Structure 1
Amino acid sequence: MDVKSAFLNGFLQEKVFVEQPKGFVDAHHPNHVYRLKKALYGLKQAPRAWYECLTQFLVDNYYTRGSVDKTLFIKKNNDELFIAQIYVDDIVFVSTNNTKVQQFVDVMSQEFKMSLVGNCDDWKSTSDSCFFLGNNLVSWFCKKQNSISLSTAEAEYIAVGSGCTQLLWMKQMLVDYGFNQGTLTLFCDNMSAINISKNPVQHSRTKHIDIRHHFIRELAENKCIVLEHVGTNDQLADQLANLFTKPLDATRFHALSRSIGICLVE
């Protein structure tokens, strides 16, 4: 389940004051500040306030919080067992009784305006890549992988291969237009995936990977592409999803907008 405006549900336990937002400054009291009664996105206290609000609701409804994992909630009734795992504003849950599952969905939907995203019927990772010609973003894709990855490095390695197919197609298109390209640079934020791509030896941890994903090694060996590491915060393929779906602060929003060539026209 996913919570709509999760961080707006929490109540603050301490006094928090914020400046008047730009464009909404009171002309009669320009130096006044606001005191927040409820949490807002961007506040350091917001995740904790939301978690405390959710915890209190679950405890009041006879759910027991885990002694080791404080984000795990369990409810037992005779031979029936219900388990819910909380991760910020996402909840994964399972029960031995389907009726209990539907009851949980109904109660949480009414209390927190939650929506049921779907059943966890597979554990496949998602590949996402973006492609630049100079400073211009010309292509971007995000799709689910066909196989289940056993580690983050394996998922990133498969994603690198998916990105290479699009990259090679773009290179050939540019050749047809009369623009010959040399070695292409592919950025990845996982060093293990980069090391696997550069290592021609088939060791035990990569033997199970489908052979079609290993063509990236030949491309790297022939200098068709060069793999370079990039920090997670600078990995635009992942950050694009945040730009279009997350309520980012102004600084981060404008930085990501500039990085993909979007500018404000006045």
Structure 2
Amino acid sequence: MAHEYFALQKQGTWSLIPPPPNASIIGCKWTYRTKLHSDGSIARFKARLVALGNRQEYGIDYEETFSPVAKLPTIRILFTVALYHGWQVQQLDVEKAFLHGNLSETVYMSQPKGFEDSSHPTHVCRLHKAIYGLKQSPRQWYNTFTTHLISLGFSHSKSDSSLLIRKQPSSTIFLLIYVDDILITGNNSSAIFDLLQKLNQTFAMKHLGTAHSFLGINITTKPNQYFLSQPQYAKSILQQAGMSSSNSLANPNCTKLPQQFGNDPILSDPQNYRKITGSLLYLTITRPDISYSVNILSQHMHNPMPEHIYLLKRLLRYISGTQYFGIPITKHNLSLTSFSDADWAGDPLSRKSTSGFCSFLDTTLISWRVKKQHTVARSSTESEYRALAAASADLIWLRRILADFQVPLDKPTDLYCDNTSTIALANNPVYHARTKHIEIDHRFI
């Protein structure tokens, strides 16, 4: 706590003033966390002073709060492109990142407990920096950091605002931001080293070496291959559900439900169901094999029934036996292909269809989605066609981001579909009574 407090003082985070009359003064609290290495061992014990941002009022204490973060397909593409060219991916962490952001609003905060000024115990802190906990802190940090990068010659990718690119005659550098975690790669190691030196003069950067753990994702480096997985996170979900020693299953879902369902004391609690299912959503970052099952469970967060608890338990048993599954990123060519499919009227209650697609850079899976369609499809052709339109939209974005990574796209992208009527409709823009209501999707493509 003392280390954190002195760091705040060193940054000039606030100045003590008498409490202004009729001013909104927010509180603060200490939070504690044990930081772990990727293997589960203790890295350090951390205390952080956090402002109670839930007491802020819009228009008085803050205005805009939105801050871009890197899209997950962009992260996978970065590793794939770096592996193809033989570049190293370096990882950076910014110490006290939010404290580098300057506040444009006037915010008053009470003094931190245990560290009140003895000569001015009733004074309040007039904040100059965007301390953790404030609603606008992530935005202020992002603006401060990207403005500095632009002054060093970087420019934003138009497809992903968190990807910044610097092209020079002797080097090209790609820098990806996810709040205070940063990945950097490029074709010139000395230029990257010089950049790190310049950044460290302005921001307290911690160089973590080659990327090995990013956003809780383990990055295992092998010759001509990366492997992305989340075994520790999967293990924590199983512990949360009390299923660490459960028997494993070979399938995350089932086609036929039993007549009767057993009772589970932990999963039967709707709050625990929502908590565990929400945690599983983050696990799908490296586990496309569970995306469909998690999609089904997520549709019943508000009122889970016994059959959904049974399906959740099955999924957790499957994860128990596949904790070390993940996504391999292999070194091949960078040809883009995509596959689209749909489950026509698959939902037994609403009779809506489910769209699914996955996109590959040669053999590396970089993007996928499972999503229930918004409207009821009146034919299998229509449901497959809507899935094709969704895949096309994703492909257009992927082609743009790959162009930013300087991947040559001199050929059309192959999009595969297994419905002959849909393929015929996509090839021949003919509208009649059965298809004119999906004309908007076709015109988009």
Q: What is the TM-score with the length of structure 2 in the denominator?
A: 0.32
CA distance in 1 between partners of 2:171 and 2:127 (Å): 42
Query: Cα offset for 1:197?
Result: 6.5
String of CA shifts for 1:51-96, please: whole Å, max 9, x gaps. 1211121111111122342222111112631111111001111101
1:65 maps to amino acid: H
In structure 2, do the counterparts of structure 1 residues 183 and 35 end up closer, same or farther at CA, with 3 Å as the change threshold?
Answer: closer
Query: Which ranges in structure 2 are unaligned for 5 or more consecutive residues?
Result: 1-91, 212-220, 248-262, 268-272, 282-292, 298-310, 324-445
Does 1:213 find its partner at 2:291?
A: no
Residue in 1 that maps onto 2:175: 84
1:213 maps to amino acid: T
Does 1:9 find its partner at 2:100?
A: yes
Does 1:167 find its partner at 2:283?
A: no
**May I ask how many residue pairs the two structures share in their alignment?**
165
1:84 maps to amino acid: L
1:198 maps to amino acid: R
CA distance in 2 between partners of 1:123 and 1:116 (Å): 22
CA distance in 2 between partners of 1:40 and 1:28 (Å): 24
String of CA shifts for 1:231-265, please: whole Å, max 9, x gaps. xxxxxxxxxxxxxxxxxxxxxxxxxxxxxxxxxxx
Residue in 1 that maps onto 2:125: 34
In structure 2, do the counterparts of structure 1 residues 197 and 2 end up closer, same or farther at CA, with 3 Å as the change threshold?
Answer: same
Residue 195 (structure 2) aligned to one of 92, 98, 104? 104
CA distance in 2 between partners of 1:20 and 1:8 (Å): 17
CA distance in 2 between partners of 1:100 and 1:4 (Å): 23
* SS in structure 1 of the partner of residue 210 of structure 2: coil
Once the two structures are superposed, the pairs formed by residues 32-71 of structure 1 within 5 Å of their partners are 32-71=123-162
2:142 maps to amino acid: Y
Cα RMSD between the aligned structures? 3.7
Does 1:119 find its partner at 2:199?
A: no
Query: Cα offset for 1:29?
Result: 5.5
String of CA shifts for 1:109-161, please: whole Å, max 9, x gaps. 3321211223233342222369xxxxxxxxxx77xxxxxxxxxxxxx8xx79x
Larger radius of gyration, structure 1 or 2?
2
Residue in 2 that maps onto 1:247: none
Residue in 2 that maps onto 1:198: 314
Query: Which ranges in structure 1 are unaligned for 5 or more consecutive residues?
Result: 131-140, 143-155, 170-181, 200-208, 215-266
In structure 2, do the counterparts of structure 1 residues 28 and 77 end up closer, same or farther at CA, with 3 Å as the change threshold?
Answer: closer
1:63 maps to amino acid: F
CA distance in 1 between partners of 2:210 and 2:132 (Å): 28
CA distance in 2 between partners of 1:26 and 1:4 (Å): 25
In structure 2, do the counterparts of structure 1 residues 124 and 196 end up closer, same or farther at CA, with 3 Å as the change threshold?
Answer: farther
Query: Cα offset for 1:11?
Result: 1.0
CA distance in 2 between partners of 1:16 and 1:6 (Å): 19
Query: Cα offset for 1:31?
Result: 4.8
2:322 maps to amino acid: H
* SS in structure 1 of the partner of residue 177 of structure 2: strand
* SS in structure 1 of the partner of residue 112 of structure 2: coil
Instruction: Work out the percentage of aligned pairs sharing the same amino acid.
Output: 32
CA distance in 2 between partners of 1:2 and 1:56 (Å): 18
